Structure 1
């Protein structure tokens, strides 16, 4: 599956900027635009959060919105996974480019699609925490492993906090004032497996 589609599909014109603190509930996220690449990962709100069920599929939920990184450079969210994938497959290859949970942030290149850039925060199966590498389908998207391996305990939620502006400087060499989209995705199409993950609210903060 060509992950380049994730990057270049997010073409945006003239959407309003966010200011202050903005929170998207799991109900909000469930209403984001669906983007299908192979089959369909299902997303539904349950008693714990937004549950993703992946079965040889890859599809995500996208918010196409200009986000002002001068006002809200920080993104926070929580997530958990039921299990991870077989750790024998190299996640830096196309065959291993599946993750039970991901969150994207995207800067759209407009008609110059080659200028589009994305950071893809993932829950890895094998790559160690802190590892980063170019996406094997599209080098414009950079992968960052925030978690690795199975959860510490069944049902354990973990909290993430990233400075998006600093991460774009580090991984893409760009000091951005805005990004244009945020997305979540659970995918298992390259391995032909299954996965279950849960996502909590996503927040954009000043600090």
Structure 2
């Protein structure tokens, strides 16, 4: 599944050196909204060893959490986060619509006043796609997926990630970006009918 046609109402947050999207320590922020595509992925707060994170459980479902925020990408080009997947999608295939499911995804959304021209970068924990590979989403070419992690080697382990979204955008779209207006999370299994569990934490924009 994908997030192609979102026109986002901006919300601006400012900090000296970073913008904390959510660390989930106070629960799920009210800034998140749900977008259902097919069925409902269950998102809940999970606490372990004194730390809270967001747990996602999907069974033949696809729904996303969307955080509306407008920010200057040149001022805050880096997106950092932690995630953990408990499994991948065994029949997932990044090249086919029927296989477009992932245990964990994070989107950066660049909306346009014509919804069909909305663009997104989609950081995925890939199933079989090689780590580091970039590929258009099989449903919508303006959503470009980047395999930040892949496969089962690190399942069950927390992984910290950092991406230069500005440079990623210029690399995959070949142009200067407009400012993003949303961050989104999605764990989805609607196309394959499988199940997946993932955890997300400490989603932060940085200078």
**TM-score scaled to structure 1, two decimals?**
0.90
Distance (whole Å) between structure 2 residues aligned to residue 82 and residue 15 of structure 1 = 33
| Structure 1: gaps of 5 or more residues | none
| Structure 2: gaps of 5 or more residues | none
Change (3 A) 1:132 1:13: same
RMSD of aligned alpha carbons: 1.7
Distance (whole Å) between structure 2 residues aligned to residue 151 and residue 43 of structure 1 = 24
Question: Residue 129 in 1 paired to residue 134 in 2?
Answer: no
- Structure 1 residues 162-200: Cα deviation after superposition (integer angstroms, max 9, x where no partner): 001101100111212511110000000100010000001
Aligned to 1:55: 59
**TM-score scaled to structure 2, two decimals?**
0.90
- Structure 1 residues 64-97: Cα deviation after superposition (integer angstroms, max 9, x where no partner): 111211211100000000011215x532110110
Distance (whole Å) between structure 1 residues aligned to residue 10 and residue 190 of structure 2 = 34
Secondary structure in structure 2 of the residue aligned to 1:101:
strand
How do 1:29-178 and structure 2 match up within 5 A?
Answer: 29=28, 31=30, 32-48=32-48, 49-86=53-90, 89-110=92-113, 112-152=114-154, 155-178=156-179
Secondary structure in structure 2 of the residue aligned to 1:68:
coil
Question: May I ask how many residue pairs the two structures share in their alignment?
Answer: 199
Runs of 4+ in 1 over 6 A off after TM superposition: none
- Structure 1 residues 28-83: Cα deviation after superposition (integer angstroms, max 9, x where no partner): 65541001001100010111411000010000100111121121110000000001
By percentage of residues, which structure has more helix? 1
For the 8 Å contact 1:21–1:205, the answer to whether it is kept is yes
Change (3 A) 1:171 1:160: same
Distance (whole Å) between structure 1 residues aligned to residue 29 and residue 38 of structure 2 = 19
